[in-house]
């Protein structure tokens, strides 16, 4: 839903004073009912509450702005709160009073670039703590429609920035760490908050070539579904035990996602064991009828959605048409009860009906929001996400000793970015340090000048401000260009047409290159890939940094990298394609593998030459990898793997140990990436060039060595056939660490079908 609509909702709710409140299980009407009896199971408690409601009362609880039942002492509840990278504007979240702001962490695309799952867990823990503090003061719900774990399949996608990138393995690891931090905390009896994995499934298009997400029918092969579009949801639902998922706007192979019984029941519930509810994306039920034309009446529409397993609607379609569907016998009251069982079960597991005194999370308050620890973590996560893409002759970091009485110019449309650094789905940050502020902070008290000129807009056509920028560049010793894109170009409902750097910025860079005393430094803000080949190749550009959308302390983080107070180690979580890519493949094409109509997608299948590859990123120091070659001497028998008692995808076939040594002259992190290139098993079944199967971010002092270990499991080796069956093939699996081929794992014996 658009931000404007969100803000509208927030205003309406605030005027009406509909802050969420808690049921009174102490003295109220409810208190004598089993819903308040903690000796009973959550399902028993929910069943009794539901049985006391009339049909109309039940129906009014099946939408996200749930009415409550005053007669029974059941308060209103707004199910829709957001917290993608900090508490965010949404119908359930209100900033103000004692809680004017919440920590604003970097966008998930940055979090993907950190490749640091401990960090992501810590961030999620702080977000859930702040969420509870807001909830305790009536300023947020307990159910959050976060995270977005769709695969960033096409660089044009306006919401790709909400995800950790293009790789299913990375996204699966990310969502596991995130959900643990959001849902689990110090009190094992309760969910800390309820998260929501969205958008199920194959949603990653906003509006392209005249077709928007409400009309889009994603044609997805079984192979791509099993190999790429389902794994993050499996990790979220089965491994991390998320409390809810959201069905998406689009259709999948002709069936709207919220009417897709196979996906919602067979896959999510039966196969992945979803223990929670399914909520529709906002107005997606109405889309089943009005944009997908999958049904012909409103009653049929609510019936297919409810029967497919959509328990809760964001919208009002259920409210207006459920009763008629019931009268026409398209559904029965058991269907309604089942949906309510699933939603109330989650509220009970959140402790909503239990006494506050006994609950750790109910004690959290404004003192737990925007703490020193949260501020530090927000800065560190921004620093860890920054990717150094080019650094000729060690031009970075800038050396303070050589800057005495020198002037640094920051030029360009993102040098003073504040709210833009928050990306989308953001809230009110306690403060926002723009790059200019970051540079001034770090140079404070030193004889170094920092000046600023805007030069041009993000994508304007006016060169009016060029002259002033060029004059400033001429009189400066160091010039740093701050460019890139922002929410005016990529956001919800808006996909990009072009992935080139906006022309106006390229022109300005070229003007600056002509006049600078030393080669230009460039910093790019974006939540997606841009063709940066000009900057990469130009001798007039000494360095290039990608900063993503780094959140409240983003400007300070960038400055600390430029001055070498932080040694960068972020890695690109997406492929940076050449600008021509958008002409080579339709955004409607969901296929990952190359074909006559596509050069392929992501580092796994893209057959062209990337501008910068997935996983790319430099450091101010150097690292060396050493390993024991004997790891690769023995071959492994498929038949003996099959005989193991715990025959699971996580079964370990081999362990790969790597010693990482910092061989340079600066302390810093290395992100060690482990890939496998599987055997080429048949011509019709194109294997990926490589597939990430492990990663580890390690901090190493100069000369220090640390050992990192990766496990080569059955899951790592499994190949998905065209018909979605999974196979353990005999053959050679090449292991690549970073850019280095280090050895081959041999699987011997008869190829077998796994599932
Ligand atoms: C709560 O449920 C338990 C188990 O059924 C029952 O023994 C107990 O009497 C109930 N307590 C109240 C206050 O109703
Ligand atoms: C209600 O419909 C479901 C199918 O969704 C069916 O299994 C069930 O038996 C029906 N219940 C009643 C009470 O008719
Ligand atoms: C620089 O930023 C840090 C962290 O936000 C802050 O503690 C410090 O006071 C700032 N210093 C200056 C001179 O602005
Ligand atoms: C890098 O150093 C070489 C050799 O000193 C020099 O020719 C070149 O211009 C330098 N390039 C940049 C971008 O500073
Ligand atoms: C884009 O839209 C135009 C005009 O409707 C149509 O001719 C073209 O085939 C469409 N392209 C794709 C890839 O769907
Ligand atoms: C890295 O390690 C390898 C293998 O031990 C060694 O041959 C090589 O010299 C090392 N490189 C550096 C730069 O230390
Ligand atoms: C053994 O490993 C080293 C790096 O540690 C590599 O340079 C060498 O070629 C390997 N030898 C064999 C026989 O694979
Ligand atoms: C890593 O280095 C340590 C210490 O030198 C050594 O004991 C260990 O065997 C090495 N591991 C590998 C995989 O080379
Ligand atoms: C895989 O094998 C097929 C047929 O043997 C061949 O056409 C294809 O080029 C091979 N692919 C790679 C990446 O080696
Ligand atoms: C790192 O090792 C080199 C070579 O052994 C040595 O010259 C240097 O002093 C060491 N640096 C540190 C910081 O220990
Ligand atoms: C699925 O594909 C595999 C590999 O191509 C083939 O061996 C198998 O028979 C197929 N299974 C079905 C049910 O079609």
What's the gap in Å between 725 CA and the centre of ligand 11?
Answer: 7
Per-residue pLDDT at 679 exceeds 50? yes
Per the structure block, which two tokens stand in for 422?
A: 């928050």
Does residue 11 have its Cβ closer than 6 Å to ligand 4? no
CA nearest ligand 3 atom 9, residue: 441
Interval 443-465 mean pLDDT: 97
Note the pTM of the prediction, 2 decimals. 0.96
pLDDT in tens, 53-94: 999 999 999 999 999 999 999 999 999 999 999 999 999 999
Q: Which ligand is nearest to the CA of 430?
A: 3
Whole-angstrom distance, CA of residue 2 vs CA of residue 152 = 20
Neighbouring CB atoms inside 10 A of 666's CB total 14
Rounded to whole angstroms, the Cα distance separating 260 from 253 reads: 10
> Under a CB-based contact definition with an 8 Å cutoff, are residues 569 and 670 in contact?
yes
Average pLDDT, rounded, for the chain? 96
DSSP string computed for 272-322: T---SEEEE-TTHHHHHHHTS---SSHHHHHHHHHHHT--BBSSSHHHHHH
Pocket residue to mutate for ligand 8, from 628, 657, 704, 707, most atoms within 8 A of Cβ: 707
Q: What is the DSSP letter of 456?
A: S
Using CA positions, which residue lies closest to atom 8 of ligand 2? 334
pLDDT of residue 648: 87
**Which residue has the CA at smallest separation from atom 2 of ligand 8?**
659
CB 483 within 8 A of CB 416: no
Kindly write down the DSSP assignment for every residue of 630-659, as one continuous string. GGGTSEEEHHHHHH-SS--TT-EEEEEEEE
For the Cβ of 740 lying below 6 angstroms from any atom of ligand 6, the answer is no
The first and second tokens of residue 517, run together, are 């005393």
Sheet architecture: strand order including 635-637: 635-637, 740-748, 731-737, 668-677, 691-700
- What is the pLDDT averaged over residues 541-549? 98
Concatenating the DSSP letter of every residue in 693-734 gives: EEEEEEEE-TT-EEEEEEEEEHHHH-EE-TTS-EEE--EEEE
| 332 CB within 6 A, ligand 2 | yes
For ligand 4, atom 4, the nearest C-alpha belongs to 393
Task: Label residue 19 by pLDDT band (50, 70, 90).
Answer: low
Q: Which tokens is 307 given?
A: 């029967």
- The length of the chain is 755
Q: Which band of pLDDT confidence, cut at 50, 70 and 90, is reported for residue 676? A: very high
Residue 3 beta carbon below 6 angstroms from any ligand 1 atom = no
Which residues lie with the beta carbon below 6 Å from any ligand 10 atom? 702-703
Residue 472 is predicted with a pLDDT of 98
Q: Which two tokens stand for residue 128?
A: 């859930």
pLDDT of residue 534 exceeding 50, the answer is yes
Neighbouring CB atoms inside 10 A of 90's CB total 26
Strands 197-200, 207-208: pairing is unpaired
Give 49 Cα–ligand 2 centroid separation in angstroms: 20
Ligand 6 atom closest to the CA of 622, numbered from 1: 13
Q: Do 268 and 233 touch, CB atoms closer than 8 A? A: yes
What is the C-alpha separation between 751 and 412, in angstroms, rounded? 57
* C-beta of residue 222 within 8 angstroms of C-beta of residue 255: no
Beta carbon of 463 within 6 Å of any ligand 2 atom = no
Distance 39 CA to ligand 1 centre (A): 6
Q: What is the mean pLDDT of residues 5-24?
A: 56
Do 192 and 361 contact (CB within 8 A), yes or no? yes
Measuring from each residue's beta carbon to the nearest atom of ligand 8, which residues come in under 6 Å? 626-628, 657, 659, 705, 707
The partner residues of 637 in beta bridges, in order of sequence, read 748
Q: How far is the CA of 754 from the centre of ligand 11 (A)?
A: 12
Is the pLDDT at 9 greater than 70? The verdict is no
Q: Which domains occur in the chain, in start order?
A: 3-24+54-64+78-95+129-365 (3.20.20.300), 374-605 (3.40.50.1700), 623-753 (2.60.40.10)
**Ligand 6 pocket: which of 619, 621, 623, 624 to mutate (most atoms within 8 A of CB):** 624
Q: Residue 741 in 3-state DSSP?
A: strand
What confidence tens digit (pLDDT) does each residue in 355-364 have?
999 999 999 9
Q: Which residues line ligand 5 (CB under 6 A)?
A: 209-210, 586, 588
d(CA 285, CA 278): 12
DSSP 377-408: HHHHHHHHH-EEEEEGGG--S--GGG-TTEEE
Backbone angles phi, psi at 159, to 5 degrees: -105, 10
Catalytic residue among 201, 204, 281, 370: 281
CA atoms within 13 A on the CB side of 101: 13
Asked if residue 434 has pLDDT above 50, the reply is: yes
Nearest ligand, CA 326 = 2
pLDDT greater than 90 at residue 755:
no
Ligand 5 pocket test, candidate residues 154, 209, 210, 588, most atoms within 8 A of CB: 209
Rounded CA separation 491/424 (Å): 7
Ligand 7 centroid, distance to 672 Cα (angstroms) = 18
DSSP state letters, 237-281? IIIS--SEEEE-SSEETTEEGGG-HIIIIIIIIIIT---SEEEE-
Tell me how far CA of residue 84 lies from CA of 140, 146, 278, 654, in angstroms: 14, 5, 18, 36
Does 712 score more than 90 pLDDT? yes
- The alpha carbon of 363 and the centre of ligand 1 are apart by a number of angstroms equal to 27
**Residue 505 to residue 482: CA distance in whole angstroms:** 9
Q: Is 48 a catalytic residue?
A: no
Q: How remote is the CA of residue 630 from the centroid of ligand 10, in Å?
A: 29
Q: Are strands 520-525 and 478-484 parallel, antiparallel or unpaired?
A: parallel
Neighbours of 314 (CB within 10 A): 22
Tally of CB atoms within 10 A around 709: 11
Tell me what percent of the residues of the chain surpass a pLDDT of 70.
97
Q: Whose CA is nearest to atom 6 of ligand 10?
A: 703
Q: Read off the pLDDT of each residue in 128-156 and give the average, rounded to a whole number.
A: 98
CA dihedral 395→401→407→409, nearest 10 degrees, is 30
- The three-class DSSP label of residue 371 is coil
Contacts of 724 (CB under 8 A, 6+ apart): 222, 223, 225, 226
Please give the share of the chain, as a percent, with pLDDT higher than 90.
94
Q: How remote is the CA of residue 231 from the centroid of ligand 11, in Å?
A: 21
For residue 20, the model assigns a pLDDT of 52
Q: Is the CB of 334 under 6 A from ligand 2?
A: yes
CA distances from 255 to 160, 427, 658 (A): 24, 34, 47
664 or 650: whose pLDDT is higher?
664
d(CA 264, CA 246): 10
pLDDT score of 18 more than 50: no
Contact predicate 140/86, CB 8 Å: no
Q: Is the pLDDT of residue 617 over 70?
A: yes
313 alpha carbon to ligand 1 midpoint, in Å? 33
Is 549's pLDDT higher than 80? yes
pLDDT over 50 at 11, yes or no: no
Q: Is the CB of 629 under 6 A from ligand 7?
A: yes
């Amino acid at each position: 839903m658009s931000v404007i609509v969100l803000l509208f909702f927030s205003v309406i709710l605030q005027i009406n004073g509909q802050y969420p409140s808690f049921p009174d299980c102490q003295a109220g009407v409810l208190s004598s009912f089993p819903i308040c009896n903690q000796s009973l199971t959550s399902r028993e408690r929910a069943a009794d509450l539901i049985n006391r409601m009339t049909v109309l009362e039940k129906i009014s609880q099946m939408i996200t702005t749930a009415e409550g039942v005053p007669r029974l002492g059941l308060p209103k509840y707004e199910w829709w709160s957001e917290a993608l990278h900090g508490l965010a504007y949404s119908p359930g979240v209100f900033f103000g009073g004692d809680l004017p702001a919440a920590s604003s962490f970097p966008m998930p695309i940055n979090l993907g670039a950190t490749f640091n799952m401990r960090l992501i867990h810590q961030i999620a823990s702080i977000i859930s703590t702040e969420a509870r503090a807001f909830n305790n003061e009536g300023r947020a719900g307990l159910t959050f429609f976060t995270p977005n774990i769709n695969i960033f399949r096409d660089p044009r996608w306006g919401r790709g920035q909400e995800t950790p990138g293009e790789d299913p393995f990375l996204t699966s690891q990310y969502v596991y760490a995130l959900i643990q931090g959001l849902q689990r905390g110090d009190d094992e009896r309760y969910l800390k908050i309820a998260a929501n994995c969205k958008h199920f499934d194959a949603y990653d298009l906003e509006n392209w070539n005249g077709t928007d997400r409400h009309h889009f029918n994603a044609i997805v092969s079984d192979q791509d579904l099993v190999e790429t579009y389902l794994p993050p949801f499996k990790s979220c639902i089965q491994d991390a035990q998320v409390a809810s998922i959201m069905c998406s706007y689009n259709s999948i192979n002709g069936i709207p996602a919220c009417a897709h019984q196979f996906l919602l029941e067979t896959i999510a519930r039966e196969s992945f064991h979803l223990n929670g509810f399914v909520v529709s994306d906002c107005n997606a039920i109405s889309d089943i009828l009005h944009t997908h034309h999958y049904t012909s009446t409103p009653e049929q529409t609510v019936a297919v959605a409810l029967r497919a397993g959509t328990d809760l609607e964001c919208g009002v379609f259920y409210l207006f048409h459920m009763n008629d569907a019931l009268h026409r016998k398209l559904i029965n009251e058991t269907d309604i009860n089942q949906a309510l069982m699933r939603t109330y079960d989650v509220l009970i597991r959140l402790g909503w009906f239990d006494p506050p005194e006994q609950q750790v999370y109910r004690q959290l308050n404004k003192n737990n929001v925007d703490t020193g620890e949260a501020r530090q973590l927000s800065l560190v996560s921004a620093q860890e996400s920054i990717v150094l893409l080019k650094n000729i002759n060690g031009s970075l970091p800038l050396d303070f000793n050589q800057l005495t009485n020198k002037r640094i110019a920051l030029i360009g449309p993102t040098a003073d970015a504040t709210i833009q650094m928050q990306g989308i789905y953001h809230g009110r940050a306690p403060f926002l340090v723009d790059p200019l502020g970051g540079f001034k902070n770090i140079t404070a008290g030193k004889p170094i000048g920092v000046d600023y000129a805007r030069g041009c807009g993000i994508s304007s056509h006016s060169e009016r401000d060029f002259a002033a920028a060029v004059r400033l560049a001429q009189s400066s010793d160091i010039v740093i260009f701050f460019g890139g894109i922002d929410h005016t170009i990529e956001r919800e409902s808006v996909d990009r047409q072009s992935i080139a750097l906006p022309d106006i910025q390229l022109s300005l860079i070229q003007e600056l290159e002509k006049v600078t005393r030393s080669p230009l430094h460039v910093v790019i803000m974006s939540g997606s890939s841009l063709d940066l080949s000009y900057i990469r190749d130009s001798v007039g550009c000494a360095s290039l940094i990608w900063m993503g959308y780094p959140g409240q302390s983003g400007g300070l983080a960038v400055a600390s990298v430029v001055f070498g107070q932080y040694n960068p180690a972020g890695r690109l979580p997406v492929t940076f394609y050449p600008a021509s890519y958008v002409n080579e493949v339709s955004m409607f094409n969901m296929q990952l593998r190359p074909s006559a109509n596509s050069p392929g997608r992501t580092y796994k299948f893209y057959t062209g030459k990337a501008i910068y590859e997935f996983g790319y990123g430099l450091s101010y120091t150097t690292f060396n990898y050493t390993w024991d070659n004997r790891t690769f001497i023995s071959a492994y028998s498929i038949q003996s793997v099959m005989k193991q008692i715990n025959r699971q995808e996580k079964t370990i076939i081999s362990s790969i140990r790597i010693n990482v040594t910092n061989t340079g002259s600066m302390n810093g992190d290395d992100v060690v990436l482990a890939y496998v290139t599987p055997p080429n098993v048949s011509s019709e079944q194109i294997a990926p060039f490589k597939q990430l199967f492990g990663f580890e971010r390690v901090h190493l002092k100069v000369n220090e060595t640390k050992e990192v270990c990766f496990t080569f499991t059955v899951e790592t080796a499994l190949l998905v056939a065209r018909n979605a069956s999974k196979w353990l093939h005999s053959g050679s699996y090449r292991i690549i660490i970073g850019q280095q081929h280090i050895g081959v794992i041999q699987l011997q014996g008869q190829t077998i079908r796994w599932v």
